[in-house]
Amino acid sequence: MRILHTSDWHLGRSFHRENLLDAQAAFIDHLVETVRAERVDAVAVSGDLYDRALPPVDAVRLLDEALRRIRGTGARAVLISGNHDSMARLDYGSGLFDAAGVHLRSSLEGVGAPVVLDDAHGPVAFYGIPYLEPEIARRHWGLQGRGHPAVLGHAMDLVRADLAERPRGTRSVVLSHAFVTGGAPSDSERDIAVGGAAHVPASLFDGADYVALGHLHGRQRMSDRVRYSGSPLAYSFSEERHVKGSWLVEIDRSGAVRADFAEAPVPRPLARLSGRLEDLVAGAEWEGYTGHWLQVTLTDPVRPAFPMDRLRERFPHVLNLEFAPEGAPDRDDPEWARGNRDRPGPELVMDFVDWARGEGACDEEQELVQAAFEELRAREASA
């Protein structure tokens, strides 16, 4: 059986206020063409279909179009909800969608009940484990243990128990949205460290022929049978070196797995640049970045005037600007923090103005700040 493993579409998400819907639609075009060209039997989408529980209308339309086009190739689709999705909303109508060959698994009641697809060698059972909120799942199943290992461990016990009752030789695929120990995160995943331990060991998924993971946005191979596809697009500058796409997985009659990576189109490359403003806008070595989405860190000792306007004259796609002046004290240094702990509030405000603007506050501004702090002290004294 040929499976295309993808995840973390985050439809409706923007990138530093840059609308990504066209880029997401281009990925869907690529995905559908890959499914058709590679004669894929099933598309497995391992969560975070949307970027939020109440997605914008255009994102809902794009998902609808994607599922209709996938089915138009003859392939089936198996999908689970992720931590960005609403379990209840994605589960709505799932019984009707099953009849159309689109299998949404977004409820605790459905864990351990597979979608069974057949190929020339027999059945393949697809087990969907949606993102499990630890406390909700613990109460639902009456578990004593807490955290993701406890609830995901129970979910896999349900999977193994069902698989043991099936005909000998039934192959299995598990879809799960989770953080597996050893995986490398990026800056764009939402933290799931709520309700106990967040990480789970890869060994928790033992017994499955292939595990299609979602949640982490970089493609990763935890083992030959346990993989993250990563997100199809970059959603943070920490992903500038990621290769985006989907795993094309083939499971033979014995359950052996072969996986190749199908790279997705890149709407615009990412880069992070650092240096003084005049060097960046004039230096020949930066010419190759004029078409990139950029995060720029300026190191000028004094903050330049209108830096974003200057940068965008050469780099029209600068999306994020930061400042790290050369020679400035490290604000994360405990010694710096201790040295400023007992300084008067007005002095700290004046330091900030000097750092942010590149010149100190005038006499009138200093008087306003001093008056504001005196008023605060008066209010505290009378409270």
pLDDT in tens, 169-220: 999 999 999 999 999 988 888 777 544 457 899 999 999 999 999 999 999 9
Contact (Cβ atoms closer than 8 angstroms) between residue 104 and residue 97: yes
Asked which of 263, 292, 319 is the last residue of a domain, the reply is 263
**Tokens at residue 269, please?**
């490359």
Residues 114 and 232 in one domain: yes
Question: 300 — phi, psi (to 5°)?
Answer: -55, 135
- Which pTM was predicted? 0.85
Residues 213 and 301 in one domain: no
Question: Which of the pair, 198 or 34, is modelled with greater confidence?
Answer: 34
**Tokens at residue 375, please?**
């008023």
Residues 35 and 114 in one domain: yes
In the predicted structure, residue 20 carries a pLDDT above the cut 50: yes
Residues 153 and 279 in one domain: no
Mean pLDDT within 221-242: 96
pLDDT in tens, 102-160: 999 999 999 999 999 999 999 999 999 999 999 999 999 999 988 999 999 999 999 99
Of 268, 217, 236, 269, give the one whose Cα is nearest residue 7.
217
Residues 217 and 352 in one domain: no
Domain carrying residue 341: 270-382
Asked which of 263, 281, 306 is the last residue of a domain, the reply is 263
Tell the residue number behind the tokens 């484990």, with chain if given: 129
- Name the burial class of residue 262, with classes exposed (0-12), middle (13-18) and buried (19+) by CB atoms within 10 angstroms of its CB: buried
Q: How many structural domains are present in the chain? A: 2
Asked which of 230, 263, 296 is the last residue of a domain, the reply is 263
Residues 306 and 250 in one domain: no
The pLDDT value recorded for residue 195 is 43
pLDDT in tens, 63-117: 999 999 999 999 999 999 999 999 999 999 999 999 999 999 999 999 999 999 9
What pLDDT band is residue 330 in, cutting at 50, 70 and 90? low
Of 214, 204, 207, give the one whose Cα is nearest residue 178.
214
CATH number of the domain that residue 54 is part of: 3.60.21.10
